Amino acid sequence: MAWTAAEGDEEAPRLRTSGTGHRRQVVISIALAALLGAGAWFLIGQAANYSKLEDAVRRANPWWLVAAVLSVSIGYLGYALLYKTLAGVDGGPRPSLPVTLRVTIAVFGASVIATSAGRLGSEYWAMRKMNERPAWAWSRVLGLNTGMWAALAAMAWAGAALMLIGVGRPAPIWLELTWFLLVVVCLPPALFLSSPAHERWQQDAGGKVRRTFAAALRGLVLLRDVAKERRLLAAGATGSLLLWGSDLLAVWLALRAFGVDIGYGQLVIGYATGYASTMLPLPAGGAGGVDAASTYALTLVGVPLGPALLATLVQRVCTYWMPLGVALVGARSVRRLPDDLAHVPGAVGRG
């Protein structure tokens, strides 16, 4: 999937799923991802000792691996619930769950091919196709991603708190304190800046940096509005639990398959630390770089390098290569999305 400026709206990405140029771009992206990923696995595999890895693979319990693969599919539903919630709050468009699931397929595929920028672009594209104003489309996208990261940070905060009081095997104290203090430090400014008393800072005016800051603040306001309404809060919380819970479960099941059992604190701190690398603008969806970061993050919480490498391989196949396959298989459905999104209820824009 590629993103180009749409006619009449230089800010709005447009989904392009056909054409020789697009197919060439997809092939190059996949080839680059495979090359970078293989390079990372080769280098880390040498450090982990190939003979030990081979022995671990032979002794692995295949049923744990099957369960890990199946668990990841739950994340699609979780993301769709989150997207649907942030799209509809405060008078926004109200896509149905089936339509939002198709948006999810496009988003996950774009994040693989074009890194996190492709993910943000595809989320924004869908909002604009539902006739949301550019400024508010960006606010909803930023609110969605802020909410996702906030949910993961809250889960990591809970894990760090447990480890700090002695529950489970400890990680390096600097790592525990980083995740524990992150929420403590970030939450008060977020609540302060998004309060009604600072509504003037949320106005879409001024230069690009000023407008981006305002869009981010409006995203925080949207999250506060979600928290105020019980139905929306339940949908958002459920989506967050399904999205991150499916990934955490996949990593835990993969580790069990290779003979390693860790507690909640170790699991969530190790996963969150590795996942933080996806924020970097790495090529090919972070193939190679994210793989290495996720592997060594698990070793920080006590997982041996060999099982950490194998578990990360399973998790990355489930969350990186499988979404790409689903997106390619569902390309025909994605091409019909613009017309379907244009008829979403409530798609009347904002004043």
Residue % of the chain over a pLDDT of 70: 75
pLDDT at 130: 92
**Span of 69-78, 100-109, 318-327, 339-348 with lowest mean pLDDT:** 318-327
| CB distance 282 to 117 below 8 Å | no
pLDDT at 162: 94
On the 0-12 / 13-18 / 19+ scale of CB atoms within 10 A, 195 is middle
H or E stretch at 106: helix 97-129
Per-residue pLDDT for 126 more than 50? yes
Mean pLDDT of the chain: 81
Per-residue pLDDT for 10 more than 50? no
Per-residue pLDDT for 85 more than 90? yes
Per DSSP, 75 falls in state: H
For residue 203, give the amino acid letter: Q
What span, in angstroms and rounded, lies between the C-alpha atoms of 88 and 95? 8
Q: Please state the pTM of the whole predicted model.
A: 0.83
Residue 46: helix, strand or coil by DSSP? helix
Q: Where is pLDDT greater, at 84 or 197?
A: 84
What span, in angstroms and rounded, lies between the C-alpha atoms of 100 and 103? 5
Region at 100 (left for phi over 0; alpha for psi -120 to 50; beta for the rest): alpha
Q: Where is pLDDT greater, at 127 or 20?
A: 127
On the 0-12 / 13-18 / 19+ scale of CB atoms within 10 A, 8 is exposed
| CB distance 11 to 139 below 8 Å | no
| Tokens linked to 36 | 């970078």
Residue 331: helix, strand or coil by DSSP? helix
What span, in angstroms and rounded, lies between the C-alpha atoms of 39 and 308? 17
Average pLDDT of span 163-187: 91
Residue 14's DSSP bridge partners are: 4
H or E stretch at 181: helix 173-193
On the 0-12 / 13-18 / 19+ scale of CB atoms within 10 A, 209 is exposed
User: What is the band of 168 on the pLDDT scale with cuts at 50, 70, 90?
Assistant: confident
Per-residue pLDDT for 56 more than 80? no
pLDDT at 7: 36
H or E stretch at 150: helix 134-164
Question: Per residue in 289-347, pLDDT tens?
Answer: 677 888 889 999 999 988 888 888 888 788 777 776 776 666 666 778 888 888 888 75
pLDDT at 174: 93
pLDDT at 43: 63
pLDDT at 327: 66
pLDDT at 284: 53
Distant-in-sequence, close-in-space partners of 54: CB < 8 Å, separation ≥ 6 = none
**Beta strand segments in the chain, E:** 2-6, 9-16
**Span of 50-59, 86-95, 200-209, 264-273 with lowest mean pLDDT:** 50-59
